[in-house]
Structure 1
Amino acid sequence: MRYEEHTFAWADTSCARPPGGLTRIRFDVDDGVATVTLDRPDRLNAMDRTMNNELGTVLRWCDRADDVGAVVLTGAGRAFCAGSEMTADGFGGADTQTPEAGWIAPHQVRKPVVAAIQGAAAGLGVTLAMQCDVRFVAGDAVLSLPFVRLGVTAELMGHWNLVRHVGLGRAQELLLTGRRFTGTEAAEWGLAVAALPAEQVLPRARALAREIVEHAAPVAVAATKRLLWEAAQAGPFEHARRERLVMEALLDRPDAHEGVQAFLQKRRPVWTGRPSTDLPPWPTEHGEDSA
């Protein structure tokens, strides 16, 4: 998959088009929560070129659409995603998209992306889930990062994300052996926030997404998401400066006033800020602001 590397900056989705003619992805929006379903159950939702292009199209639209407040990513059938499509010619999904398709990683979407891993996940299926913001997993799901057993290495920031979530020692064990592990183990190690019965995974993910949509200011959520992704990359003092500048910028926005008034009046806030247009300029490492 190709995406903008070396940055957690938001992707340019100004030309995002509404999803249509999808054959590998199911997509619906219910009261602000978009559910994106990898839909090749007969292939355990293995990622081929078409699915990858469609996923990029859907995520770009979710990023751009201000009536979408959160995204749930899941799989159809008994698997979340079996990884890249493999054929007799090799990895049919390793180079899964053309440059013009404009891949966008889940961490580049200005809305929280929640992974509902209701079944097996392998390789790219795990690294894709790690690019989401929150993960729920079926306790009996079988997961693996079998890249070395296939003669390759992990991608989609797999090494960095795994170390970030489970620590260097556990990441070394999992990536150097490529062994299988369960959803229960994943939650115990911190790779998922909870391991649940399979039938509860998607409802729990949707409930979390709906809680965000119903209670949190969309612009503040987007800014918080980016600060969280940048937290493991920036030094503590640089990150503290960035937090302060973002907070000061948001204090001048109507949503900050609305949040306080709604709290004092014990009512639900009415947010007016739009992530597509109202995010503050982003502080850079060198003290300037960037879009």
Structure 2
Amino acid sequence: MKYEENTFAWADTSGAGRPERLTRVRCEIDDGVATVTLDRPDRLNAVDRTMRNELSAAFRWCDAADEVGAVVLTGAGRAFCAGSEMTANGFAGAEAQSPDPGWIAPYQIRKPVVAAIQGAAVGLGLTLAMQCDVRFVADDAVLALPFVRLGVTAELMGHWNLVRHVGLGRAQELLLTGRRFTGAEAAVWGLAVSALPTEQVLPRAQALARDIVEHAAPVAVAATKRLLWEAAEAGPFEHARTERLVMETLLDRPDAREGVDAFLHRRRPVWTGRPSTDLPPWPIEHGEDST
């Protein structure tokens, strides 16, 4: 009997190529780590339609490309992201807040996404960062979810993610007031794993991403990421069953044998599993395999 399928789903990025002629986003790769930079520093990296489309294109390529093992998301200049572009007509980046078949969120990428919040992260800028898997933040960064002060509500799973990370009471205070808070406070509350001096944020995020690329099996990482995102909504026994079935499937794969052999011989593993083709089917049954 199949367990109830969760609503989590990977994005369909088959055939996605490396984006070219980007004007609002930079996408660079170094030894398996892709650094995606919101590159509109004169506007504090505010998101408009063009940036939204370019960011989605960069995420699609990072997901589809097996040479990318982990992604770092950051911003150019003194801000991570000031949120949606605001004009006399309202929010110019609001399309990113609504269902859009072309949009891909960080949690939908089969690679871990690490947010390097080296400066201000406000509104959509912070809800976007909360969709990443890990966050490092500058201790003096200014953060805010000021939606109620602008006559709207939070988007990009902002309510759900904030409650998940800081608890209902703190989430109520931050979202109902829309007040500012610091990166140091965010780390204390669990919204970021660490608050650092500004100049250390991006190197620390890239170092963590590189550690994953160098030591962890890509298929196991992708499966673990999905299990973590589904854990918040699944019951403990349902999730334990899913976890066990995924583990049983991966035990039969070459990477499981390679990992053990590399550990016993104290050498760096050589993984052959590819997230683009070798992920276990989901939902998964006992004895099922994607090969």
TM norm structure 2: 0.94
Question: 1:7 Cα shift?
Answer: 2.4
Counterpart of 2:208, as a letter, is L
Give the Cα separation in 2 of the matches to 1:112 and 1:102: 20
Q: Say if 2:97 and 2:155, in contact at 8 Å, map to a contact too.
A: no
Residue of structure 2 in register with 1:3 after alignment: none
Q: Say whether the 8 Å CA contact 2:147–2:178 is kept in structure 1.
A: yes
Matched, 1:26 2:26: yes
Decide whether aligned partners of structure 1 residues 237 and 201 sit closer, same or farther in structure 2, where only a CA change above 3 A counts: same
1:73 alignment partner AA? L
Shift of residue 76, structure 1, vs aligned partner: 0.2
The alignment's TM-score, normalised by the length of structure 1, stands at 0.94
Using the alignment, how far apart are the partners of 1:170 and 1:153 within structure 2? 17
Partner of 1:112: 112
2:103 maps to amino acid: W
Q: Which residue of 1 aligns with 2:201?
A: 201
Amino acid at match of 1:113: V
| Count of residue pairs brought into register by the alignment | 285
- For residues 231-259 of structure 1, the C-alpha deviation after alignment (integer angstroms, 9 at most, x for no partner) is 00100000000000000000000000000
SS state of the match for residue 95, structure 1? helix
Partner amino acid for 1:255? D
CA shift, 1:267, in A, is 0.5
The answer for the alignment partner of 2:80 in structure 1 is 80
AA paired with 1:104?
A: I
Q: For 1:141, give the aligned amino acid.
A: A
RMSD: 1.9
The structural deviation recorded for 1:99 is 8.2
2:270 corresponds to 1:270: yes
Offset from partner CA, 1:155-208 (integer Å, 9 cap, x none):
100000000000000000000000000000000000000000000000000000
Q: C-alpha separation between the residues in 2 aligned to 1:18 and 1:181?
A: 37
Q: Which residue of 1 aligns with 2:3?
A: none
Cα offset for 1:96? Answer: 4.4
Within 5 Å, which residues of 2 pair with 1:213-228? 213-228=213-228
Identical amino acids, percent of aligned pairs:
82
Structure 1 runs of 4+ with >2 Å offset: 96-101, 286-291
Contact 1:53 1:101 in 2 (8 A): no
1:17 shift after superposition = 2.4
TM-aligned CA deviation for residue 287 of structure 1: 9.1
Alignment of 1:77-156 (within 5 A): 77-96=77-96, 102-156=102-156
